[in-house]
Chains A and B, each alone.
Chain A
Amino acid sequence: MEIVVPKKNKIWAFVIVGFFVLISIATYAEHEYYVYLQAYLWFGFIYGMCLQYGRFCFASAFRDLFAVGVPRMVVGIMIATILFGFTSAFVNATGWSTFHPAPTGIHVVIAGTIFGVGMVFAGGCASGSLYKTGEGNGVALLVVLSISLTQSTFVDIGGWFNKLVPASWAASAASKGLPDVINVSDGWIDQYLAGYVWNQPVLRFAEMLGMKTDSVSGAFLGNLVVGVTIPALLILIWVYFFWVRKNYAKRVLKERNSVSIKDHIAGFWGMITSSKRTALAGLFLGVACGLQMFVIEGLRMKFGVKNAGTLLHRLGFDYGLSAKGTVFDPGYWYVTTQEAQWVGWVFQKLGWNHMDNIFFGWVNGLPNPAFNPADWMSVALIGGAAVMALLSNEFKFKRPTMELAVWAIAGGFFMGIGSRLALGCNIGGFFVRAANGDPAGWLFGLGMIGGAFIGVKFFNWWTERKMAKEMAVLDLEL
């Protein structure tokens, strides 16, 4: 059935697209280096459209699974991960991928657990909250603000928190030879990063199997088959076994006396094909993610740089570049780091020095948000989601209630902590890493699933307790 879209919605959709077109043309007229930022912008726009179209949200996925037993979104996400894995394998095989694996260790599981609890409380993951903000959802905007504020504060927190740093981390961090201006001995996260995380192994499935990632066998067999497809299939089988199998078997038993392996294969396939919308969004997300890596790497070659900080320097924007002259420039889809930079930049302007820590001062910098490549991606993501929501008549301003606001802030807080401990969220910490054969991605995913389970159980307990109280009050009144 054709959706009737009000003319007003269409006009607003074109106003948003027109704004991005205007920005692109005007900045290109200023200097061709801005093509680099435009690449982030238009890929962000595509991500926003895909996320909104597929209702691609990790929080909804695991909440629906654990709370009401609906596996549709989890299945869609796993399919999307495999599809993205395929495009990533292609890019990796060429040797020109922008992806960097993360240090792997138990910290990633812990961080994923904290993040998983947070996303269930907030009612949206990091990327889900961004696209829902584009739909006009005030709660999602609060989540984004809470994630941003928590991260930018957490990465600079020191003082009393230094007492919680193990002596071995402090000693290891001090031995890394960071410049004095970073002041590595003051800051919990600084010592966690330099004293613990940087000492952990950086692995990929291809290398673990004795292959090279930038070879066809390493990229496709080591990373895609062993590192992406098999773990994703195991999760799909787990979902089928615990949530789908029983109902499917009941249906089959109505027609026949027994359920064969063949029936279960048909049931498994039915589960996969029932997530068409999410899977289709996942297909486009996967292709776009791979293409972004190609485009960014090509532009780096074209302009002879390794990081956008050099381009900003050449354009005359020195403010907020890190001690190495860099800015946050992942070269692929990322969500939370640029959110931390928004608030960090404001704090820096207000006089709270945020450039004396590793996260901002040594690695990501704090450039003006107007010239921050990853910021262009996130703003365009919100715009892309808004356009899609307007054109499908799903855009609506929703003000948060006080209760939802509290959950949003609490959820954003936990997601912010989890993101910084894992060096990424459900996208940079799980989706991109898992699809590129980085075991840290799956470890984060395991933690996130566990955290979501805990979050759902807590949420159910809280809701039941609240309802019981309300019923008790009603009983007294009656």
Chain B
Amino acid sequence: MKTSLWIIIMIVIAFLGFMMGYALPPFMEVGFGQGGDVTQGGTVSEEELEKQYQQMYQEGDTGATTE
């Protein structure tokens, strides 16, 4: 039991490490204790997206465009 469990724990740690690798650099760049607006990039700004969806709803479209 112990060996199997340890293998699984190592797999979980590996994935956590991978995700930490993704998540930590932005903190390093912005700095800890500097909480604020997280949006810095992206193809469509969230405000634009919100407007777009509200518009869609007003027109009666529930957004079922890709399924």
Using CB atoms and an 8 Å cutoff, list the residues of chain A in contact with chain B: 2-3, 5, 10, 13-14, 17, 21, 24, 35, 38-39, 42, 45-46, 49, 93-97, 179-181, 214, 291, 294-307, 309-310, 313-314, 316-325, 355, 361, 368, 387, 391-393
Contact = CB atoms under 8 A, between A and B. Distances in A.
Given A95-B33, A324-B54, A42 B23 contact: no
Contacts of B53: 321-325
| Interface bin, chain B | 35 or more
A179 B54 contact: yes
Given A317-B66, A325-B53, A355-B62, A38 B46 contact: no
Interface of B: 1-2, 4-5, 7-8, 11-12, 15-16, 18-20, 22-27, 30, 32-36, 38-44, 46, 49-50, 52-54, 57-58, 60, 62-67
18 contacts: A13-B4, A14-B7, A49-B12, A96-B27, A181-B58, A295-B20, A298-B25, A299-B23, A302-B26, A304-B40, A306-B46, A310-B49, A314-B42, A319-B65, A323-B53, A325-B50, A325-B53, A391-B5
Contact of B15 (A38, A307, A392): A38
A39 B17 CA distance: 11
A325 B42 contact: no
Contact of B67 (A14, A21, A301, A319): A319
A391 B36 CA distance: 43
Contact of A13 (B8, B40, B54, B62): B8
A392 B4 CA distance: 11
A309 B56 CA distance: 15
A316 B67 CA distance: 10
Contacts of A296: 23
A366 to B, nearest CB: 9
Contacts of A295: 16, 19-20, 22-23
Contact of A302 (B25, B52, B54): B25
Contacts of B65: 318-319
Contacts of B8: 13-14, 17, 387, 391
B66 A310 contact: no
Contacts of B19: 35, 38-39, 42, 295, 299
